[in-house]
Each structure stands twice: as C-alpha cells, then as structure tokens.
A and B are shown apart, each in its own frame.
Chain A
C-alpha cells in the first residue's frame, strides 16, 4: 500500500510512500478519494517523506486532492518532500497554489 492516513480532529494526514507514477496513480487517487469521502477534513496534509520517486502523475494526484479539499472549504499543504519529488513540484509551479515544505 502506498498510502496510510491519520485523522487528528478536523485534520487529515495522508502519508504517501514508494514510487508515484502513472502505474500507481489510479490506486493512490482511489485511496485518497475514499478517505476524503468519509468526511471532508478542514485541513489536509500530504506527507511525502517516504516517497522515493515521483513524476508528473504526482502533480495530478495533488491537484485533484486540492480541488476536493478546497471545494469543501478546507486547506491543503504538502510536507517533508524529498529532493527528487521537490524538483518535479518546482517545475510544475504548483507552489503558487499550495504551501510546500521540503524534507529537512
């Protein structure tokens, strides 16, 4: 499984792991949808600490999650992004929409 989640009151933390590409994207999207459908969170955090590779399929996952969370009045941010996924996020310009912090 490439996704685990924790609810802390109104906050949902989604922890992604492994390689995120077109092959794994649908499964990850469905798993995120499932968690969002069970009650839209006020705040949603995507924790990417354990992501070993990400291509532009990850951008699509993040944008879809952003639209869902935003539509219900919530906020989304992305935490602990390793170097390779960070380069993909930087190239996409997605930081203009979503707050992103790198893995220290």
Chain B
C-alpha cells in the first residue's frame, strides 16, 4: 500500500502564528500540485480555523492549537485544526453566516468561508473541552500542456 504523507504541528494561540500556520498548510499542500486558486483557498480556510481558535477557544488565555494535515487517497488534502479551549455551545448557530461573538473586528464569515473554499467541513465541539475542525479538499489533476 502506498504510504500517505502527513504532518503535525502545534503552537500557542498567538496571532502571529496565523501566517505561520497557513504557510505550513500551503507548503504541505504543494506536493499535490494545486493551482494558485486552490492554494489560496486552503490558506484562507486554515487562517479562518486558526483565527477562530485564537479568538474564541482561548479568549482570555493562551492555549495550544494542533494542526494535522494529511494526503488521503485520490489527491484529497485533509486538514484538522484542534484546540482544547472553551468549546462552542451551539455549533449550528456558530456556522450561520454573519454570526459572531467577537467584536467589530470580526465579520462572522469564518465558517462560511471554510465551507465555501473547501469540499467538506466537520466541526466537533464540546463546551469546556475544545473544538476540532476537519476540512477536506480534492486537488484536481491538471491536464498536461500540449
């Protein structure tokens, strides 16, 4: 069986790590030869998930954020972003466009963008235990230049 590639990183919920995390996701995804648009979508979705963890999971403290990325059969990229923060009381409501418990510097579009830019999005959360966001995106094979 062909071995599938994977990577794990963890870092504290400091906003300077937003750029770092999407850079790692982008570098890992590059092995699937994505288009610039696909790469931009992956970076944006990871940025949204990590920002949610920083802003909502650990609002008054610094906690750890865990990212696992792996290549699944069929050129599917899976990225999970996990925290052990305060969790989400009502996941369905949190996923509604424009819903936010953040201030005026948040737009409430994070989950909407993750859903729009990736093929699938699963959110598992338990109040007091944390949240895991699992996103998948198939990277389309590009036809060779003739």
Contact = CB atoms under 8 A, between A and B. Distances in A.
Given A55-B47, A56-B110, A64-B104, A91 B36 contact: no
B41 interface: yes
Main secondary structure of the interface of B (DSSP, over half): helix
B18 A23 contact: yes
A interface, size bucket: 20 to 34
A44 to B, nearest CB: 18
A59 B44 contact: no
Contacts of A69: none
Contacts of A23: 15-16, 18-19
A21 B107 contact: no
Interface stretch (B75-83, B111-119, B130-138): B111-119
A23 B40 CA distance: 18
Main secondary structure of the interface of A (DSSP, over half): helix
Contact of A55 (B16, B36, B48, B116): B48
Interface string B29-64: 000000011001101100110010011000000000
Interface of B: 15-16, 18-19, 22, 36-37, 40-41, 43-44, 47-48, 51, 54-55, 104-107, 109-110, 112-113, 116-117
Interface of A: 19, 21-23, 25-26, 29, 53, 55-57, 59-61, 63-64, 83-84, 87-88, 91-92
